[in-house]
Amino acid sequence: MLNRTKLLSGLLIWYGLLWTVLAISPHDRQDWLLENLLALAAVGTLLLTYRRFQFSTPSYLLITAFLSLHAVGAHYTYAEVPFGFWLQQLLGLSRNPFDRLVHFAYGWLLVYPLRELLIRLAGVGTFWSYYLPVSGMLAQSGLFEIVEAIVAQVVSAELGTAYLGTQGDEWDAQKDMMAAFSGALLTMTLVIVMKGKAVSLRK
Amino acid sequence: MLIGLLLWYVGLSLWTAYEPADRQFWLLSSILPGALVLILVGTHRSMPLSQASYLLITLFLTLHTIGVHYTYAQVPAGAWFEQALPLGRNHYDRVVHFCFGFMLTYPIEELFRLTASLRGWLLYYLPVMTVLGLSGLWEIIESWVARVVHPELGMTYLGSQGDVWDAQKDMAAALYGSLFCMLLLLLWRKRRTGTSRPQPDSLADSTS
């Protein structure tokens, strides 16, 4: 089995390199900065709290995967990610789906670390340890949409639209939240199924 | 007192069920409250909440029932406010969103305290997050209903009243209500006991 410390340093180096490469001439420097405020705060928090609270290795992997996706989105400004255009053509969509995909990934990848946090920090039990993480992801997703709306209204309309990425869809906020919600539900279902398997194996 | 609350709610429901402004909307919006009341009645022996919680829930359901009877955008009290202050829209639904956060956060906090054995600041943080999560879920359901039932009306249907930021403002209202409730609870507990921890013997925290 791979050494945990090595793996974690590897993740950090990977993210550092990726971030640096994507920080070079992003599509829209202001939007890039705006998108990265929260991401950098998250990385900073993880590094600073590492001594006091350590996530499991799978959690760190999931978090890094999400942050990598977000770094790509921030570099190109979400609505103009090449991979999204490619997907749009392939599936015949009317919009670039990359941001929706990352919203889904947000719920899908981060609900597991959140569950770990709640179980270990708060000691939440059986039923709540499945319900609360999903609810938490949905809530954070809603909070994010609120913050987005405020930013879009305060900051210049042009940058606001780039940051918001509604791409002219009036139901964009609800669809984004739905994406995060279904991602979280999917992971939770997997966790429940795997737990069941593990229990039956032990028997 | 619980029987009184139940009678009040059932009576009010019957009264508002008589000739609502929009029968279809009334039916759709009454499913969730009906389920909630049934659950509360069913669990009131195995999982009794405090009287304060039941009172808050009834208050919220009352506001909701009135909103449903008139269809939210046309509640007379809201229309009166709209005239008294130059608001440009009927704000009754926004007020009820705020009340959703303000009145239902305490019952949720109580539920967590009793069943999830939460401690410390999480007992204040998680109920707020839960309310915000439910609020987001509500907005998602609302947008589905709007698209399925009245696709031609788009954003003018239901609560949005033509505002593209309506969903965000509604969620923010619930969040503020929830935060406000938690702040009051925190202050009340600090003043009463000198600590932010719930005391098993204090009135509003007692469950038996």
Which SS3 state, helix, strand or coil, does residue A27 take?
A: coil
Chain A residues inside the 8 Å CB shell of B126: 122, 132, 136
DSSP assignment of A86-149: HHHHHHT-SS-THHHHHHHHHHHHHHHHHHHHIIIII---HHHHHHHHHHHHHHHHHHHHHHHH
Planar angle of CA B128, B133, B135, nearest 5 degrees: 95
Banded pLDDT at A126 (limits 50, 70, 90): confident
Phi, psi of B75 (to 5 degrees): -70, 130
Six-digit token pair at A42? 């998250």
Which of A28-37, A99-108, B39-48 has the highest mean predicted lDDT (pLDDT)?
Answer: A99-108
Stretch (H or E) spanning B58: helix B51-70
Q: What percent of chain A has pLDDT over 70?
A: 89
From residue A123, alpha-carbon distances to A86, A132, A187, B126, B181 in Å are: 44, 12, 20, 13, 24
B140/A181 Cβ within 8 A: yes
Where exactly are the structural domains of chain B? 2-40+49-198
Mean pLDDT over A132-153 rounds to: 86
Hey, of B100, B112, B115, B126, which one would you mutate to test binding to chain A, going by the most A CBs within 10 A of its CB?
Answer: B126
Hey, of A103, A104, A106, A145, which one would you mutate to test binding to chain B, going by the most B CBs within 10 A of its CB?
Answer: A145
- Residue B93 vs residue A163, higher pLDDT: B93
- Residue B7 vs residue B90, higher pLDDT: B7
Mean pLDDT over B103-115 rounds to: 89
Mean pLDDT over B89-118 rounds to: 86
Q: For chain B, what is the mean pLDDT?
A: 80
Cα A42 from Cα B202, distance rounded (Å): 39
What are the counts of helices (DSSP H) followed by strands (DSSP E) for chain B? 7, 0
Q: What percent of chain A has pLDDT over 90?
A: 34
pLDDT at B86: 67
Six-digit token pair at B205? 């925290």
Query: What ipTM goes with this model?
Result: 0.71
A132/B136 Cβ within 8 A: no
- Give residue for tokens 């954070």: A140
A62 in contact with B at a CB cutoff of 8 Å? Answer: no
Alpha-carbon gap: B59 to the closest alpha carbon of chain A (Å):
24
Q: Which of A187, A184, A178, A101 is nearest to A142 (CA)?
A: A178
pLDDT at B154: 53
A40 in contact with B at a CB cutoff of 8 Å? Answer: no
Burial (0-12, 13-18, 19+ Cβ within 10 Å), A195:
exposed
Six-digit token pair at A144? 């994010």
Decide if B168 contacts A151 (C-beta within 8 A): no
From residue B71, alpha-carbon distances to A52, A130, A157, B97, B132 in Å are: 52, 35, 34, 14, 23
